[in-house]
Structure 1
Amino acid sequence: MNLLEFQNVSFSYAENQILRDVSLSIRRGQLVAIMGGSGSGKTTLLKLIGGQLQAQQGAVWLDGQNVGQLNEHDLYQMRRKLGMLFQFGALFTDLSVFDNVAFPLRERTQLPESMIKDLVLMKLEAVGLRGAAQQMPHELSGGMARRVALARAIALDPAVMLYDEPFTGLDPISLATVGKLIRELNDALGTASIVVTHDVAESLAIVDYVYFLADGCVVAEGTPAEVKASTHPFVQQFIHARPDGPLPFHKPAVPYAEQLGLTC
């Protein structure tokens, strides 16, 4: 069953077209990567899922609900099904590790503190940081902070997990650790997960399926094996980090000589 689905979605800011007729689907238990260059529409896609933006054409469906047609009350109820790992963790700097993970449980449930304590320690144990429960965010390394943010994101056992560039700024060991945790937690929770990322090697090692966005469109898709074997020009440029190709190095402009006034 598709837990999340985009059906011919288009969106623009004024005259700037961001997404063009985008269709994709994610099943329960599936881990999917969304890849593309800067400005290709990846962040807009996440905002459409959370209801921060509404599709101007097409529909975004989450667990059988059309996100764009939900009223304010139903939208907030729908968001309870979402977990979000922000690019740099976005931990509350004045709260301890324990209180950061406890925050969504205290805000969204009526559970007693004794049960919240057990759940927080369970989530921290899942990311290997139960021993850091009383530390403050400024005492953590970048990799540890990202893992605490992951524990907070899964505190309510979300149906859908959204990862916004989860590997940015991590050293190789922390990157591999976070990637392993994303895969393991996805399988353990049975969520539908979207990883928006530029990290080709780590992503292809953990995901089930990949969608490539360019100029607001899905230009290619497939399993990691299919992607690696693809001869599609954009896929080749992206996974091999070539500076020029379908995404050109030079932004279109008038001829250089003409702009310098050197033409006859």
Structure 2
Amino acid sequence: MASAQSEHTAASQTAKDRLAIADDQALVRVRGLRFCHGQRCIFDGIDLDIQRGRVTAIMGPSGTGKTTLLKLISGQLPADAGSIEVDGHEIQSLSRAALYQLRTRMGMLFQSGALLTDLSVFENVAFPLREHAKLSDSILRKLVLIKLEAVGLRGAAALMPSQLSGGMARRVALARAIALDPMMIMYDEPFTGQDPISMGVLVSLIRQLNDASGLTSIVVSHDVRETASIADYLYIIANGQIMAQGTPQQVAANESAWVRQFMDGEPDGPVHYHYPAQALEQDLLQGLRR
């Protein structure tokens, strides 16, 4: 326990030094973030920066709050304490109208794709353009086809979501996420449920779109190899804290027992399989007494 605490203290000091250096380049700044569900604190005073023009990965075991962090950054959930700034705007202080306007500059690739099942591929990608931009039908059509071409699915414009494979659906969702030319895209578990070929395509697309369009990307994932292959910077979160951060090479060289268990996929280590509970015998005896 003392060793883990000293590792976390050293990591926190290193993190503060890095944040001080990179602060002026950050599109997203998170400081002292605290967020709890009842008695359980998902985040307990974390600091992190998302640098402009880079792919930043938020990694960690399932249930550690990775998707929750995206919801906090986009203002879908209010923080209990701390601050979140996006492009200089304090999320907690924005009016509803100002927050909605800022969100038009944030693209989101949902974990399930979240395509509208009654709309064609074309209309799914056109949806945000129809909602937020006053465009002629001719210009809208060209923009939609350009976005679909970027993900290799221009030929699928007339298909319905039910006619798409899982990988194709995820790429259509990505085309929709970039429809408004956002400054930032948040990817929520983009590789989940994908076959090796689809996963490889998505990995390549995320990196290519980020570099070609000058985007800032936040990739939430627990797929270590795929995520590390495209990320410029990694954060690993668990137990309400940032357990490690750095370039993929720096994190790969981290000797923390916790980090090694996660990165190497080891079954035994500081991260326990069982959710905290009282002894099994006590639970069974309580059932007999009822």
Q: TM-score range by the shorter chain?
A: over 0.9
Of the three residues 124, 129, 134, the one matched with 2:153 is 129
Query: Could you report, residue by residue, the CA deviation over 1:79-131 in whole angstroms, capped at 9, with x for unpaired residues?
Result: 11110001121111111111110110011000111111110010011001111
Q: Equivalent residue for 1:184? A: 208
Q: For each residue in 1:34-54, what CA deviation from the matched residue of structure 2 results, as whole angstroms up to 9, or x when unmatched?
A: 111122111111111111112
User: In structure 1, what residue type is equivalent to 2:256?
Assistant: H
* TM-score of the superposed pair, with normalisation by structure 1: 0.95
Distance 1:139 1:256, change over 3 A: closer
1:102 aligns with 2:102: no
Amino acid in the other structure paired with 1:62: V
The answer as to 2:109 corresponding to 1:85 is yes
Give SS of 2:192's match.
coil
Read off the aligned partner of 1:147 and give its amino acid letter.
R
- Deviations along 1:218-239, whole A, 9 cap, x unmatched? 1111111111111111211111
- Give how far 1:251 is off: 3.3
Task: Determine which of 54, 76, 86 is the counterpart of 1:62.
Answer: 86
The equivalent of 2:136 in structure 1 is 112
Aligned position for 1:197: 221
* Structure 2 partner of 1:233: 257
Alignment of 1:157-168 (within 5 A): 157-168=181-192
Letter matched to residue 133 of structure 1: A
Pick which of 8-17 and 160-169 moved more.
8-17
Q: Which runs of 5+ in 1 are unaligned?
A: none
Q: CA deviation at 1:191?
A: 1.7
The CA RMSD measured in Å over matched residues stands at 1.4
- Kept in 1: contact 2:187–2:220 (CA 8 A): yes
Q: Which residue of 2 aligns with 1:45?
A: 69
Paired positions, count: 261
Using the alignment, how far apart are the partners of 1:257 and 1:91 within structure 2?
47
Letter in 2 for 1:228: A
CA distance, structure 2, for counterparts of residue 125 and residue 252 of structure 1: 48
* Aligned residues of 1:33 and 1:209 also touching (Cα < 8 A): yes
% identical aligned pairs: 55
What is the Cα deviation at residue 16 of structure 1?
A: 1.9
1:71 — aligned with what? Answer: 95
- How far did 1:21 drift? 0.8
1:149 match: secondary structure: helix
Q: Deviations over 1:53-74 (max 9, x none)?
A: 1222110000000001111111
Note the C-alpha offset of 1:257. Answer: 5.7
CA contact (8 A) 1:234 1:246 kept: yes
Cα distance change, pair 260–105 in 1 and its aligned pair in 2 (3 A): closer
Task: Report the equivalent of 1:217.
Answer: 241
The answer to whether the 8 Å contact 1:211/1:222 transfers is: yes
Distance in 1, matches of 2:147 and 2:50, equals 25
Partner Cα distance (2:120, 2:169) in 1: 11
Counterpart contact for 1:91–1:149, Cα < 8 Å: yes
